[in-house]
Amino acid sequence: MDTRGPLCVGIDPHGSLLTDWGLTDDIAGLERFTRTVVEALADRVAVLKPQSAFFERFGSRGTAVLEKAVAEARSAGALVLMDAKRGDIGSTMGAYAATYLDPASPLFSDAVTLSPYLGFGSLRPALDAARTAGCGVFVLALTSNPEGAEVQRATGADGRSLAAVMLGHIAAENAGAEPLGAVGAVVGATLGDAGVDLAVNGPLLAPGIGAQGATPADLPGLFGASVGNVVPSVSRGVLRHGPDAGALRGAAERFADEVRAAVGGA
């Protein structure tokens, strides 16, 4: 982010977006879309975030497109954050960890999003795998979807919200790490007020900028002293400018410049 700009761009091949690009909503359209985004952005954007579901819907051929995109993006110098939101227990969580956090896997990524709502301890196989491989995870804490509040804002016997409990676990995992720990939190940029301590000594993925309504100017008010650790994420706000590669690059550069202006030297 220091060298390429403070921005994560999602690769979300919605069927409607493929159509808007003049592509067919099939494997050929998926391949063309994905190749265009990777070729346009992977050598200049800090983080690319493929949404796994939009590839999985095409079965094994879609997964093959995703594998190629991950490899080519990382080869061009971008960090790849796999947006898979996996969460399970025991050996199943271990299998998810092997899928995304084992360097021998064709889907090996620099980080993966995880759901902790089977208990934070259920994530241990992935946390250990990330530590071994030198990569990271982003744990869902306060998501931007309105339905998330019924779980994440629910309070336990000690009066803390579930989101606060998860953020506490993340901070404990990152204790003593310099400059930051490898366990990040997902905190939606559209929230307005987090209402919890976001100082987890780890990166904070902030989706929701652009089409979902948040702007870079919203980041300092939401994240406060932790704003320097934010990884702002935009998807449709950039992708809608395709299929022209120059327009995609220009949109990403504008968002990165807006983030720099809003965050300053944080």
Position 62 scores a pLDDT of 98
pLDDT of 212 above 70: yes
pLDDT tens digits, one per residue of 10-21: 999 999 999 999
Q: Where are the beta strands (DSSP E) in the chain?
A: 8-11, 47-50, 79-86, 111-114, 136-142, 183-187, 204-209, 230-234
pLDDT of 206 above 80: yes
pLDDT tens digits, one per residue of 180-194: 999 999 999 998 888
In order of 9, 45, 76, 138, 230, the CA distances from 73 in angstroms are 12, 10, 5, 19, 21
Q: Which residues contact 263 (CB under 8 A, 6 or more apart)?
A: 6, 216, 219, 220, 227, 228, 230
pLDDT tens digits, one per residue of 37-48: 999 999 999 999
Q: Which residues contact 124 (CB under 8 A, 6 or more apart)?
A: 93
> Within its chain, how far is the Cα of 175 from the centroid?
22
d(CA 155, CA 149): 11
> Within its chain, how far is the Cα of 224 from the centroid?
20
Average pLDDT, the chain: 96
Q: Exactly one of 4, 85, 124, 153 is catalytic; which is it?
A: 85
Q: Which residues contact 226 (CB under 8 A, 6 or more apart)?
A: 198, 199, 200, 204
Position 211 scores a pLDDT of 75
Q: Which residues contact 196 (CB under 8 A, 6 or more apart)?
A: 142, 161, 163, 164, 167
pLDDT of 153 above 90: yes
| 85 is an active site residue | yes
With a pLDDT cut of 70, the percent of the chain lying above it is 99
pLDDT of 100 above 70: yes
The CATH number of the domain covering residues in 8-263: 3.20.20.70
Beta carbons of 28 and 65 less than 8 angstroms apart: no
Which is it for the CA torsion 23, 253, 47, 146, positive or negative? negative
d(CA 219, CA 222): 5
pLDDT tens digits, one per residue of 241-257: 999 999 999 999 999 99
Domain layout of the chain by residue ranges? 8-263
